[in-house]
Structure 1
Amino acid sequence: MTLDFLPPHVQIRLGDYARLLRLDRPIGTLLLLWPTYWALWLAADGMPSAANVFIFTLGVFLMRAAGCAINDFADRKIDGHVKRTKDRPLASGRVKPFEAVALFLGLALLAFVLVVVFTNTLTLYLSFGGLVLAFIYPFMKRHTHLPQLFLGAAFSWAIPMAWAAEAGEVTKLAWLLFTANLLWTVAYDTVYAIVDRDDDIKIGVKSTAILFGDADRAIVATLQSLVILVLIMVGHQAGLGAAYYVGVVVMACLFVFQQHLIRHRQREACFKAFLNNNWAGLAVFLGLLVDAFV
């Protein structure tokens, strides 16, 4: 859809907001979406309600955009010193800090309304945890070398919420799936952090990539292996069939490919490995989808 009918200065403004919310870079939304779909399909034994699929798809989009806004607000004084982020709208001054906060609050409120109006009480209670995690994660890199762990919790919180919305409870299986996704998120965000490691060291920002040092690849490989192990446990406990395990095997193969990409720790290759996780998440979801119909 073209916006040529709008005045040029309005088009520029909307473009800056879109870049602030990463509407031009959907990878974060997809990495949130696949585990949410895993939870919906597993909680519903392969047949989630269309309403919940719509609600959580829209909710993921809204909360990822909100998370980007508050992340850039938190990083507004350091993004300008990082090669990859120096041209972001907030770091470059094209968007004001209060605008980023307003966007975060507005988008989070819209997501909250979705939960209040269309889901149940348990999902509502869980949503407060998700909001807290989304808000505090961006500030963790100043206080701990484990901000990726907080991101993992934030990116995994949709799992118990989706499970509660679909099944009315959060079972042990849901928390096992939560664990798998948390491990996966720490692994791929550590790879992502390798891209910025040199800049982060200079400006004093903490990350698992810095904490792990030369052991980064080995630890990421260990985390990825644990993801596969926990997903196999999920399949066993849920009584899933061969199609699901094929999806898990494809994810494992993609993890091997990612290890190949990051072997020299080059920025572009590490970023490519990070992006490749979209296909890993999709593979598991397709396995669940096919398993539901065979």
Structure 2
Amino acid sequence: MNTDASPPPPARGRLSLYLDLIRWDRPAGWLLLLWPTLGALWFAADGWPGWHLLIVFVLGTILMRSAGCCVNDVADRDFDRHVKRTAQRPVTSGAISVKQALSFGALLALAAFALVLTTNRITVLWSFGALAITLMYPFAKRFVSIPQAVLGIAFSFGIPMSFAAVRGGVPDLAWWLLAGNLFWVLAYDTEYAMVDRDDDLKIGMKTSAITFGRFDVAAVMVSYAVFIAIWGCVGYSRGLGVVFLLAVAAAIAQAAWHWRLIRTRTREGCFKAFRLNHWLGCSLFAGIAVGYALR
């Protein structure tokens, strides 16, 4: 029986199913993408980037993250049915067909591309790379020992695109920020992978939590340290002052709290740490934005 062709449960409306598909009730996913993108936008513009670019990158981030959810759920539907936390996702349960999910994802990606077309040629070119890595990531979990590194690249593409949109090019600074952000993604997505480690071992999924083994907590904390150090140094070099240093201190305190949550490796603690990561990113962005405003 082809579950992809099964009709949706009658008690649920179509809109509700599509909102579930893109995780609309869980904004932490797109916030994790948004804060480093906005931080890069402020660094690129050396302050306020203007309403046009702010709207383009905020809406574009939400749309592309939502499109990525569609692709991810289609790619993982056979794995997700074996994991309690994901078994009832719309594509996995058959409530939304593969064709419907991919069509909706394509529509979202086209809307994001329409926004990018209002910028400049180099940003448009970079958007093709962003799309390629978005499509590639769901399949990396089958072949790459640390697929979170691939996700780190995907979740960092807004950084070079921000610089391209503001400056018409991608300087070395953007690559430093991207490298730092990659480590943050490695930190929080390893926490996420620690939640499902037992299920992933049974179904043969590759994750950083499995690869790092008993060094998983140490790897998370080192990744936090590298991320905060790189972004902290960049902000300090831009003369963002005491406010930014306080934001860095807040990020360090949150990372320490996450260590307390994950050190015993409970599902609840690891998932809570993952869900709250966007506040760490928000703290750093707030320090950047306010630091520039007061500079």
Q: What TM-score do the two structures reach when normalised by structure 2? A: 0.94
> Which residue number in structure 2 is paired with residue 276 of structure 1?
276
Q: Find out whether 1:140 has 2:130 as its counterpart.
A: no
The 5 A counterparts of 1:165-204 are 165-204=165-204
- Secondary structure of the residue that 1:145 maps to in structure 2? coil
Q: Find out whether 1:46 has 2:43 as its counterpart.
A: no
Mapped partners of 2:84, 2:198: distance in 1: 10
User: 1:45 Cα shift?
Assistant: 1.1
Mapped partners of 2:162, 2:12: distance in 1: 36
The 5 A counterparts of 1:199-214 are 199-214=199-214
> Which residue number in structure 2 is paired with residue 228 of structure 1?
228
Contact (CA 8 Å) 2:40, 2:174: kept in 1 or not?
Answer: yes
Mapped partners of 1:166, 1:9: distance in 2: 48
Contact (CA 8 Å) 1:173, 1:237: kept in 2 or not?
Answer: no
Mapped partners of 1:236, 1:278: distance in 2: 22
> Which residue number in structure 2 is paired with residue 21 of structure 1?
22
Amino acid at match of 1:249: A
User: 1:73 Cα shift?
Assistant: 0.4
Amino acid at match of 1:39: A
Q: Deviations over 1:94-126 (max 9, x none)?
A: 01011111112111111111111x100110111
User: 1:167 Cα shift?
Assistant: 2.0
- Number of equivalences: 286
User: 1:240 Cα shift?
Assistant: 2.7
Mapped partners of 1:128, 1:240: distance in 2: 33
Amino acid at match of 1:75: D
User: 1:232 Cα shift?
Assistant: 2.4
The 5 A counterparts of 1:255-266 are 255-266=255-266
Q: Deviations over 1:178-220 (max 9, x none)?
A: 1111110011000000000000000000000000001100111
Mapped partners of 1:234, 1:275: distance in 2: 26
> Which residue number in structure 2 is paired with residue 126 of structure 1?
126
Change (3 A) 1:122 1:10: farther
Amino acid at match of 2:41: L
Mapped partners of 2:135, 2:213: distance in 1: 28
> Which residue number in structure 2 is paired with residue 5 of structure 1?
none
Percent of matched pairs sharing the same residue: 48
> Which residue number in structure 2 is paired with residue 160 of structure 1?
160
Structure 2 residues without counterparts, runs of 5 or longer: 1-8
Mapped partners of 2:11, 2:70: distance in 1: 19
- Secondary structure of the residue that 1:77 maps to in structure 2? helix
- Secondary structure of the residue that 2:91 maps to in structure 1? coil
- Secondary structure of the residue that 2:85 maps to in structure 1? coil
The 5 A counterparts of 1:77-96 are 77-96=78-97
Amino acid at match of 2:263: R
Mapped partners of 1:11, 1:91: distance in 2: 16
- Secondary structure of the residue that 1:264 maps to in structure 2? coil
Q: Find out whether 1:254 has 2:262 as its counterpart.
A: no
Change (3 A) 1:76 1:87: same
User: 1:275 Cα shift?
Assistant: 1.3
User: 1:145 Cα shift?
Assistant: 1.4
Mapped partners of 1:195, 1:10: distance in 2: 30
Amino acid at match of 2:196: D
RMSD: 1.4
Amino acid at match of 1:66: A
Contact (CA 8 Å) 1:36, 1:56: kept in 2 or not?
Answer: yes
- Secondary structure of the residue that 2:291 maps to in structure 1? helix
> Which residue number in structure 2 is paired with residue 3 of structure 1?
none
- Secondary structure of the residue that 1:81 maps to in structure 2? coil
Structure 1 residues without counterparts, runs of 5 or longer: 1-7
Amino acid at match of 2:255: F
User: 1:234 Cα shift?
Assistant: 1.1
- Secondary structure of the residue that 2:196 maps to in structure 1? helix
Contact (CA 8 Å) 1:49, 1:166: kept in 2 or not?
Answer: no
Change (3 A) 1:173 1:238: farther
Q: Deviations over 1:53-90 (max 9, x none)?
A: 00110000100000000000000111010011011111
- Secondary structure of the residue that 1:95 maps to in structure 2? coil
